[in-house]
Structure 1
Amino acid sequence: MNQRNETNIAGIFAAGDVTNVPEKQIIIAAGEGAKAVLSAFRYLSTRK
């Protein structure tokens, strides 16, 4: 997973407990989820 929550599979994004983020707190997971959603939105917006 990179800084944009992209996995090594194109179009697949990760957040929460399946990531390598060491802090396993709800607020951290929520923030990571927001990053993943924004990255997925950008990814899908560039594909037509």
Structure 2
Amino acid sequence: MRTNKRGVFAGGDIVSGGATVILAMGAGRVAAKSIDEYLKDQSVW
């Protein structure tokens, strides 16, 4: 779910087009996991 811009992620309708709420929720979950992994690799300082 990471875009080609550093630190920018996309999910839901922007990735898959108009979809059901269930599919959008699933895409949000995948995006959240991607963001979590990205942030774990970043140093705070």
Question: Can you give the 5+ residue segments of structure 2 that lack an aligned partner in the other structure?
Answer: none
TM-score, length-normalised on structure 1? 0.77
Q: Post-superposition shift, 1:15?
A: 1.1
Q: Please give the secondary structure, in 2, of the residue aligned with 1:8.
A: coil
Q: Bigger radius of gyration, 1 or 2?
A: 2
TM-score, length-normalised on structure 2? 0.81
Deviations 1:18-46 (A, max 9, x none): 11x25611111100000001100100101
Aligned identity (percent) is 35
Question: Can you give the 5+ residue segments of structure 1 that lack an aligned partner in the other structure?
Answer: none
Residue of structure 1 equivalent to 2:6: 10
Does residue 24 (structure 1) correspond to residue 19 (structure 2)? The answer is yes
Letter in 2 for 1:14: A
Q: What is the root-mean-square deviation in Å for CA atoms of aligned residues? A: 1.3
How many residues are aligned here? 43
